Structure 1
C-alpha cells in the first residue's frame, strides 16, 4: 500500500515506528501473538489507535511490517576464505533461521499483511544483499562465481519453498547440497 511509502524517514515518524514495533515485540513476548490488538499495542507504544490504523491500515499489516524488520540480517555474511565455504555457511544459516519456528512465523506474518508485495520484495532484497557480499568477496579473490539471481533461484528459492510447504527434513546437509549443485565440480554453476 502507498501508505508505507509516503512515510518520511527520521523524526517523529521514526520514533512512532520504533515505539510501535517495540510494543508489538514486548506484548507478543508477554501475552502471545493471538492476544495482540491495535488498542493494546497503541497503549503500550504511547500513540493513539488511529495513528496505527493510519500508518499500517490494520493489525495484520503492522505485524507484517514488524516481521520484515525481524527478518533483516544483523550482520554481513562471514568470510570463510573461498566462495564455496562462504556461500555454504550463509545458506546453512539462512535455512536455520528461516526454518526455525520464529522464522516461519515471521515469514507468514510478512506475507499475510503484504497486499502489494512490497514486504516480500524487501525480504528478497535482504537475501540478495547478503549474497552480493559473498559474491563480491569471491570476485575480489578472482574466483568464478554465479550472479545473484542464479543464487536466488537455485539456493534461496528452494529453501523458501521447503520452509513454507515441506519443512520436514530440512537441515544443513540440504543447504550444502544446494550450494554444491549450484557451484558444481568446477566451482561455477552449469548455467
Structure 2
C-alpha cells in the first residue's frame, strides 16, 4: 500500500472478519485510554489480537484510529444529500445526534478532545476532522450551487452552527440529546445561512 493513500483508502482492503474483530477493540481502547495513550501492542494483548495483522492492514496507530472514526463516512455522505438545504441540515443533525447519543459515539468524541499533553496526536485529530469536514462541507457546497445560501456564508462557520452545539452537549453531559433540541439547532442554522 502506498504512503500517499488516505487513511480510509489505506484500510479499505481490510477483510470484513478482520475489521469485525479489530474495530470493537479499537473503540474499547480509545474509551479506556483516549488517543494519547492508545497503543496497538496494548490493544493486541488485551483483546488477544495479532499485532502483526493490525500493522499489515493499518500500518500504524494513527491510521487505525482514523479508520475507526471514519467507519460511517460514506453513509453520512449519502444520508446528507436530500436535495434541499433544510433537509440536508436535518439529516446531518440527526446523524450527529444519533452518534453522540450512543455510548460508543460519545466515548469516541470525548477521546478525540484535545489534550495539551498529547501534542503528538494533533495530526491524528486533524486527519479525522479534515476527512469528516470534507463530507459535511458538501451540504453547504450543494446548497450554494442550488442558490439556497445567502451571500457571504462562511462554509466552516455554517457547518459549526449545526455540529458545535450538539457536540458540546455530548462533551459536557451524559444526558441524551433530544429530538426537540436537534430540530431547534437545525432551525437556527437554516435561518442563519439560508437565502430568503
Q: Structure 2 matches for 1:27-176, cutoff 5 A?
A: 37-40=42-45, 44-45=49-50, 47=52, 55-56=60-61, 64-65=65-66, 67-70=68-71, 72-76=73-77, 77-111=79-113, 115-145=120-150, 146-176=153-183
Change (3 A) 1:75 1:168: closer
Cα distance in 2, alignment partners of residues 122 and 141 from structure 1: 29
- TM-score, with structure 2 as normaliser: 0.63
Change (3 A) 1:21 1:65: farther
- TM-score, with structure 1 as normaliser: 0.64
Q: What's the C-alpha RMSD, in Å, of the aligned pairs?
A: 4.3
Q: Is the 8 A contact 2:106 2:171 kept in 1?
A: yes
Q: Secondary structure at the match of 2:142?
A: helix
Which is worse superposed, 147-156 or 62-71? Answer: 62-71
Determine which structure has more spread, i.e. the larger CA radius of gyration. Answer: 1
Q: Secondary structure at the match of 2:75?
A: coil
Cross-structure match for 1:177: 184
Q: Deviations over 1:171-190 (max 9, x none)?
A: 2322221121122288359x
Q: Secondary structure at the match of 2:71?
A: helix
Q: Is the 8 A contact 2:162 2:186 kept in 1?
A: yes
Per-residue deviation, 1:151: 2.2
Which is worse superposed, 142-151 or 71-80? Answer: 71-80
Cα distance in 2, alignment partners of residues 148 and 129 from structure 1: 11
Higher relative contact order by CA 8 Å / sep ≥ 6: 1 or 2? 2
Q: Secondary structure at the match of 2:160?
A: helix
Per-residue deviation, 1:78: 3.3
